[in-house]
């Protein structure tokens, strides 16, 4: 064995990864004792390994920055944007100044915003769009008031003039429970956020004439348009009516928390068997080793709440271990948490098919959640029922979810009638 062959065949790397057979190991080690240069290279490799392994979690979490040549371009672009934005603001401010000097103030300019809009409503009860009459149609003061009215309470006070109200609803969709096009609460995105958020941003209701009432009161009275999947019919979907309250409940039932994961008893990479003799170790990392490494990386990303990245790693791990319960289970969970519940279903079904694994109950439970988010309440009921009957920590939760899904289904049936 000579230094050139060692470099050419990367034998030092293979040696530290236990990928040489016993004879090669003996030969390599004997060479190390004869050749200080190769010994130094091995030391260097070990020092690099130690430092990289200590910071592995950190390094894996990094996102590679753009190539260097982009950086100055980005800086220049940012500078241009800032200059243009500043110039346009200055021009706008000058225009507003000149308008307030040349034109008389609007009739209600000095009133509080609620009163102002009430007066406008009196003047224009039908809510017809007011044609601009010169620069004073929307005075700077009024514009500022409208722009500042972003909190729900302010907006509730501003709901006198339907025209303005519509504008404000566009400004702040989170309080726009009384207008806008109906949107199906498909639940794919935003289900993981709080129920309040989900109820306000993802569910929009039809109708909405009683604009001056509180948002919650109006929600209770109005109907939510929802698409409910019919599992028996495969992909066929039926339009059913839900009350806003039912819509909110649906989102609450579908909300998912990431199940915990610990690395207990987990080997980061392939190691030789006990006894340390390389002769019994084939040297090459097998499929299971590669799968485990990818699973490990996926779970690192999962712990960091990078569910999209985790899904990528877990999908790669599936190439090596297509029926592994743990890989499929966490892939399913990641797809739900990443806002793709439909994609979680096949993975969770494989995790269930794996049989009596530690993930069996959890897989049923999260499959139920995925079905809820997919509006397949019948499927959800079945899965929660299965989870209830299995041993595990989720029995109580599954029972509660089952009761809520059953209640929801009953209410939906009533709605249909």
Partner 1 sequence: MVTGENSAASQSETLIARIRSGERAAEEELVTLYRRPIFAIAAARTGDREAARDLTQEVLIAVLKAARNGQVRESEKLPAFIQGTARNLINNYFRSRVRRAESTLEAAGTLSSDPVGELEAAERRRLVQEELRSYSVLDQQILLFSLVDGHSLVEVAERLKMSHEAVRARKSRLVRKITKKFDRLSQK
Q: Which residues pair with 242 in a beta bridge?
A: 224
Among 40, 71, 144, 308, binds partner 1 (CB under 8 A): 40
Q: What does the alpha-carbon distance between residue 79 and residue 37 come to, in Å, rounded to a whole number?
A: 52
By beta-carbon proximity to partner 1, the closer residue of 13 and 397 is 13
CA-to-CA distance for 164 and 146, rounded, in angstroms? 9
282 is a contact residue toward partner 1 (CB under 8 A): no
379-386 contacts: CB < 8 A, separation 24 or more? Answer: 379/229, 379/231, 380/253, 380/405, 381/405, 381/406, 381/409
d(CA 91, CA 82): 14
What sign for the dihedral angle of Cα 251, 252, 257, 259? negative
Token code pair at residue 263: 């690395």
Q: Is 355 in the site for partner 1 (CB under 8 A)?
A: no
Q: How far is the CB of 61 from partner 1 (least distance, A)?
A: 10
| Residues in contact with 215: Cβ distance below 8 Å, sequence separation at least 6, in sequence order | 152, 156, 175, 177, 178, 200
Rule CB under 8 A: is residue 56 a binding residue for partner 1? yes
CB closer to partner 1, 95 vs 277:
277
**Position 315 contacts partner 1 (CB under 8 A):** no
Choice between 70 and 93, CB closer to partner 1:
70
- 327 belongs to the binding site for partner 1 (CB under 8 A): no
Q: Which two tokens stand for residue 50?
A: 């130690």
Please state the closest distance from residue 300 (CB atom) to partner 1, in A: 11
What is the DSSP secondary structure assignment for residue 288, as one 8-state letter? H
Q: Which residue of 95, 170, 277, 308 would you call a contact of partner 1, by CB under 8 A?
A: 277
Q: Work out which of 6, 42, 314, 408 binds partner 1, going by CB under 8 A.
A: 42
Q: Helices 360-373 and 395-416 sit at what angle, rounded to 10 degrees?
A: 30
The stretch near partner 1 (CB under 8 A) out of 31-39, 117-125, 170-178, 188-196 is 31-39
Q: Say whether residue 21 binds partner 1 (CB under 8 A).
A: no
Taking CB under 8 A as the rule, does residue 265 contact partner 1?
no
Candidate ranges 23-31, 172-180, 348-356, 404-412; the one touching partner 1 (CB under 8 A): 23-31
Nearer to partner 1, 60 or 385 (CB): 60
Instruction: Determine, following the binding rule CB under 8 A, whether residue 15 of this chain makes contact with partner 1.
Output: yes
- Return the residue of 21, 29, 171, 245 that touches partner 1, per CB under 8 A: 29
Q: Is 62 in the site for partner 1 (CB under 8 A)?
A: yes
Within positions 64 to 123, which residues make up the interface with partner 1, using CB under 8 A? 64-65
Piece of 228-236, 275-283, 350-358, 383-391 that binds partner 1 (CB under 8 A): 275-283
Of 8-16, 105-113, 229-237, 248-256, which segment contacts partner 1 by CB under 8 A?
8-16
* 227 DSSP 8-state letter: E
Residue with tokens 């490990």: 296
Question: Does residue 345 sit in helix, strand or coil?
Answer: helix
Instruction: Rule CB under 8 A: say whether 304 interacts with partner 1.
Output: no
Q: Give the H or E element holding residue 238.
A: strand 237-243
Q: How far is the CB of 301 from partner 1 (least distance, A)?
A: 12
Element (H, E) at 335: helix 325-337
- The residue range among 41-49, 256-264, 338-346, 371-379 that interacts with partner 1, by the rule CB under 8 A, is 41-49
* CA separation for the pair 12, 368 (Å, rounded): 51
Taking CB under 8 A as the rule, does residue 23 contact partner 1?
no
Between residues 43 and 410, which has the closer beta carbon with respect to partner 1? 43
Q: Is 229 in the site for partner 1 (CB under 8 A)?
A: no
Taking the complex as a whole, the smallest distance from the CB of residue 62 to partner 1 amounts, in Å, to 5
Nearest distance, CB of residue 140 and partner 1, angstroms: 48
**Closest to 219 in 3D by CA, of 174, 256, 171, 255:** 174
Return the SS3 of 242.
Answer: strand
Rounded Cα–Cα distance for residues 204 and 223 (Å): 9
Residue of 385, 380, 352, 350 lying closest to 368 (CA atoms) = 380
Q: Which residues bind partner 1 (CB under 8 A)?
A: 2, 13, 15-17, 19, 26, 29-30, 32-34, 36-37, 39-53, 55-56, 59-60, 62-65, 268-271, 274-277, 285, 290, 293, 316
């Amino acid at each position: 064995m000579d230094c050139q062959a060692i470099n050419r065949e990367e034998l030092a790397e293979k040696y530290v990864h236990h990928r040489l057979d016993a004879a090669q190991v003996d030969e390599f080690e004997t060479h190390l004792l004869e050749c200080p240069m190769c010994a130094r290279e091995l030391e260097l490799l070990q020092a690099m390994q130690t430092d990289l392994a200590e910071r592995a979690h950190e390094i894996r979490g990094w996102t590679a920055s753009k190539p260097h040549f982009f950086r100055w371009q980005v800086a220049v672009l940012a500078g241009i944007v800032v200059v243009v934005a500043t110039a346009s603001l200055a021009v706008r401010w000058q225009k507003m100044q000149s308008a307030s000097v040349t034109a008389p103030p609007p009739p209600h300019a000095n009133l509080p915003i609620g009163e102002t809009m009430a007066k406008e409503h009196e003047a224009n009860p039908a809510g017809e769009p007011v044609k601009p009459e010169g620069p004073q149609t929307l005075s700077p003061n009024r514009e500022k008031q409208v722009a500042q009215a972003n909190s729900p309470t302010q907006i509730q006070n501003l709901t006198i003039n339907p025209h303005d109200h519509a504008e404000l609803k566009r400004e702040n969709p989170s309080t726009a429970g009384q207008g806008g096009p109906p949107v199906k609460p498909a639940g794919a995105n935003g289900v993981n956020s709080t129920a309040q958020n989900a109820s306000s941003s993802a569910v929009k209701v039809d109708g909405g004439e009683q604009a001056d009432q509180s948002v919650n009161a109006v929600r209770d009275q109005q109907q939510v348009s929802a698409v409910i999947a019919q599992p028996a019919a495969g992909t066929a979907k039926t339009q059913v009516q839900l009350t806003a309250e039912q819509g909110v409940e649906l989102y609450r039932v579908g909300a998912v928390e990431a199940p915990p994961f610990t690395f207990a008893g987990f080997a980061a990479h392939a190691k030789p068997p006990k006894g340390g003799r390389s002769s019994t170790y084939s040297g090459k990392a097998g499929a299971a080793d590669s799968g485990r490494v990818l699973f490990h990386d996926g779970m690192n990303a999962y712990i960091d709440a990078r569910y999209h990245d985790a899904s990528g790693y877990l999908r790669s791990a599936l190439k090596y271990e297509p029926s592994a319960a743990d890989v499929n289970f966490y892939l399913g969970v990641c797809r739900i948490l990443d806002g793709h519940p439909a994609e979680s279903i096949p993975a969770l079904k494989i995790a269930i098919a794996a049989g009596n694994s530690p993930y069996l109950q959890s897989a049923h439970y999260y499959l139920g959640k995925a079905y809820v988010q997919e509006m397949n309440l019948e499927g959800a009921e079945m899965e929660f029922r299965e989870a209830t009957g299995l041993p595990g920590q989720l029995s109580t939760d599954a029972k509660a979810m089952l009761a809520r899904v059953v209640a929801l289904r009953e209410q939906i049936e009533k709605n249909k009638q």
